[in-house]
Chain A
Amino acid sequence: MTELTYCEAINKALHIEMEADPNVFVYGIGVPDKVKIFGTTAGLLERFGTRRCFDTPLSEDAMTGLALGAAVSGLRPVHIHIRVDFLLLALNQLVNMISSYTYGSGGLVPVPLVIRAIIGRGWGQGYQHSKSLISYFTHIPGLIVIAASSPLDALGLLRAAIQSNSPVIFLEHRWLYWAKEEVSDEFPIIEIGRGKIVKVGKDITIVAISWMVVESIQAANILNEMGIDVEIIDPRTLRPLDLDLILNSVSKTKRVLVADCDWINSGFSAEILSLVSENIMGELISPPMRVGFADAPCPTVRILEDEFYPNAGKIVNLVEKIFGREITNFDGLKIYSHENKFKGPF
């Protein structure tokens, strides 16, 4: 067993897959520079050279098209964006070109490419460096969307993504980069499309996305002391979604809350709750609920930024509401897991 951080796990997956397949290459703005995409691309340039690890012009659209052209020519590109917000500049290639290419070949031509994008929350990142855009990507048939929340999952799912023959959007929350976990020396691949039960419980299911898994664990600890036993589901792969895992859990607990790492309006939380409602509405004993970003662009100043994001305290309050309990005031208490390691400014 080896203990790896989330950041090291991403780096390990890249090393393993590049070592195994000479058609894998890694590129993007800043990929080989001194920051090394917060360390995730460390050592790749030295090991594989500029042919397989390189910086690019500031041309998100063309560099995304480059991935498509390379993928249909038998290569396996991994394109990296240090902020997911930059992917908006590439939506034409992603949505008009990449997502439909396999379908337009009658299902015969693979499009093996991975786009890694970092959700860059915190320390005043502001409204153009802090989005998640999850539902933008999950809306599109032809794309696979992954949001791993632990080192083991990041390693196994990134390996699976690189080996996949369909295009993958791989979303990494910046605050998860310091999370640590024991990983077996086989560095196992994790199947795309399988969620996991993070914590077993019997009273309510929280379906948590990306960083919100961490907040949900904190919330579950507090709720446990109040006598409420929470089950936490991390779908890990958001498209295709492991619906059975979610439905089985909600069938058991009869209550559901989605802790999304994104805006609520027309968001991915609505998709999960719709699927739950369509399938097992009759089994629910309380209304399905959700928590997500405030309905505003993300502000910079800390006092508003903290309020913009959902956290463990807000999850606890929502669960208290569901159970008809008195609402705890968490103001001023450091109960939620604000990641103190991220000091900015990059």
Chain B
Amino acid sequence: MSIALKEIYSRMYLIRRAEEKICDLYPEDDMKTPMHMSMGQEAAPAAIAVAFGDKSRVVSTYRSHAPFLAQTRNVNKFFCELYGKINGTARGRSGSMHLADPERGHICSTAIVGAGLPMALGIAFASKYKSDESVAITYFGDGAIEEGGFWEALNAASLMRLPLLMVCEDNEYAVHTKKNERRGFVSISKIIDAFDCLYIFDDSNDAEQIYRKALAAKQVLHKEYRPVFMHIKCLRYLEHVGIRNDIEDEYRFPSDKKFSLEYDALKIMKIKLSGFYDSRSIGALEAGIDEEINTAVELAKKSALPKIAELTSGVYFD
């Protein structure tokens, strides 16, 4: 377990520090792409990525940084894409909202709420069709439950018994609209219970607990060919899009600030990790990641922009 925890922490730390680096550098205005920051929501993507490993095939949302970095650890391509450089994930074409690294299992991220679910359904279908034991994992916010595509995908995955892990990152905000202004339903769990789909809940922000729940989900997905819905309560630290801190703004509940201070996902994991490793070894792990991030940013800054002639290339395959 300690090795898994260390791996989870290392991915969470990578996400947090990479985003802090973005916060430092965004005002330079060289990264011209709308950033929907993951800060505060690192626990689930890191825990799930470690639980499923290279069998994961992930579709995430515009809040893509945590799922992308947790799954791929490809910090070089990440920063190169944010800077619009040719060695980015999509040669600078896609930016923050459409990060993809299919070879490392992050298939797509989409800027349309709920649009990743139908695609992930197809990835799960292919997994079952080919019996390759891969699992489609799709991230979405609680706002996606209001979209038609969510119901269609949930119904189809339940009916067709597909290995689809639906990870609902429930931060209770859709852009700036609170849940009570959006939800005509009273309970997410009751919605899921009405389908042939396993419901798993977590409000701990504790990556170890999420990791254990993900391992349980893995059994159901693989052995029963049954979809799983993981309902993860979490807190978005920064604004919907951009790098300002949202929790300080008045429309947030005071409890949000308290939660962010007392239940910070990184703090929780660091305390756990210190039960297994001394501070020097954790410090070395962190320093290594800091170095990785600095190297990636340097690489991104000095890398080349795409040639103008690339504009219309690759629209079609062949």
Contacts and interface: CB of A to CB of B under 8 A. Distances in A.
A71 B102 CA distance: 13
A213 to B, nearest CB: 26
Given A57-B156, A104-B93, A107-B317, A62 B130 contact: no
Contact of A105 (B102, B125, B159): B102
A72 B318 contact: no
Interface stretch (A108-116, A146-154, A262-270): A108-116
Interface string A78-94: 00000000000000110
Contact of B57 (A57, A59, A73, A106): A73
A287 interface: no
B230 interface: no
A61 B149 contact: yes
A75 B124 CA distance: 12
B119 A69 contact: yes
A104 B100 contact: yes
Interface string A37-73: 0000000000000010000110101111111111111
Contacts of A63: 118, 152, 156
A59 B130 contact: no
A73 B121 CA distance: 11
Interface string B125-137: 1110110000010
B115 interface: yes
Nearest to A111: B317
Interface residues of B, number: 42
Interface string B297-317: 000000000000000011111
Nearest to B164: A69
A136 interface: no
Contacts of B294: none
Nearest to B155: A57
Interface in B108-162: 108, 110-112, 115, 117-127, 129-130, 136, 148-149, 152-153, 155-156, 159
Interface string A122-160: 000000000000000000011010000000000000000
Contacts of A107: 313-315, 317
B91 interface: yes
A74 interface: yes
Contacts of A56: 156
B122 A73 contact: yes
B126 A75 contact: yes
A67 B156 CA distance: 13
B122 A69 contact: yes
Contact of B124 (A51, A61, A69, A110): A69
Contact of A93 (B57, B90, B107, B119): B119
Contacts of B148: 61
Contact of A96 (B59, B112, B126, B318): B112
A62 B114 CA distance: 10
B33 interface: no
Contacts of B93: 103-104, 106
Nearest to B162: A66
28 contacts: A57-B152, A59-B153, A59-B155, A61-B149, A61-B152, A62-B117, A63-B156, A65-B119, A65-B149, A66-B121, A67-B122, A68-B118, A70-B123, A70-B126, A70-B129, A73-B130, A74-B130, A75-B130, A92-B112, A93-B115, A96-B111, A97-B119, A101-B108, A104-B90, A104-B100, A106-B314, A144-B316, A165-B318
Closest 10 pairs (CB-CB, A-B):
A65-B118, A69-B122, A107-B314, A73-B126, A62-B152, A59-B152, A66-B122, A69-B123, A165-B317, A110-B317
Given A107-B315, A141-B315, 12 more contacts: A57-B155, A59-B155, A59-B156, A69-B107, A69-B118, A69-B126, A72-B122, A93-B118, A105-B90, A106-B93, A166-B317, A166-B318
